[in-house]
A = this chain, B = another copy of it.
């Protein structure tokens, strides 16, 4: 087992100084062609690679990006990571991930672990608990210490940094408009509690679309699901809530759900109640997911282009990191959503 070789060892073997070895490997003109060849040959033989940690210490940059997301077993977030990783690697950066698991404490701890020199900057999406508590001091401190942050999807306006989002309200407005144009007279929405910023915005889009069609919203058609209830296994209560929605409002002929799972489950409930999709009732979901594509019937959906969001976020961050001048002018980039029409709508 030959351990990693260092400049010092090469220097000793070849009976030259460390500086000579370093310079030879970096093709400095100071070093004679002869020694250069010798050093390079030896280095290649022993498969020398500069120690990254030493370089990081010296250069005071790590060429590593920290990513904090609430959850990784999630189609959207993993697509974002793929996007981040893609451009990060292309530009010579590594990606280190932390999962907040939707918890405020884990978000803070994770950021602290990484902020102590391990990374050059953050890309993150805020956890639900943090959004609920509205405690953003850890973001502010991080930025104050000179470490740039790019937020995506779940953002908060108070923090001054680069952001990558989709136009949630526009995306859902389009979706609901589609339902209304398709002839739906009673469109319900299944959404989350308001503290989830994207849930709130998507609900707004729903209301906007109704207004465009001169329809007034009915409270009874708006179902705000408590997110706690939908933790992987507590789907029955969700089903019951949706079933209640349908039974109270027999006239519902269109459903817009703020995520894929809600839509899929709603379709299932509807089918069990004997409704035909899309003849009697049409569905549109919101997401990037795999469920929509393979559901029966396949679900019309608003795509968020997660990978593209990741790519954009990484570009913003790296550009910021590599910018010489200090003109900090934070951007907010809006990724266009796209309505992917499948068989759950006419």
- Interface of A toward B, CB cutoff 8 Å: 1-4, 47, 49-54, 56-57, 62, 64, 72-75, 78-79, 81-82, 85, 89, 94-99, 110, 112-118, 141, 144-146, 261, 264-265, 268, 271, 290-291, 294-296
Contact = CB atoms under 8 A, between A and B. Distances in A.
Contacts of A57: 51, 53-54, 57
A188 to B, nearest CB: 20
Contacts of A53: 53, 56-57, 62, 117-118
A342 to B, nearest CB: 13
Contact of A296 (B49, B72, B268): B268
Copies in the complex: 2
A97 B4 CA distance: 22
A141 B291 CA distance: 41
Given A2-B145, A72-B82, A73-B82, A97 B99 contact: no
B294 A264 contact: yes
A85 B62 contact: no
B85 A145 contact: no
A236 to B, nearest CB: 13
Contact of A141 (B47, B50, B95): B47
A219 to B, nearest CB: 29
Given A89-B110, A94-B114, A296-B296, 7 more contacts: A4-B117, A53-B57, A54-B57, A54-B117, A72-B81, A96-B97, A290-B290
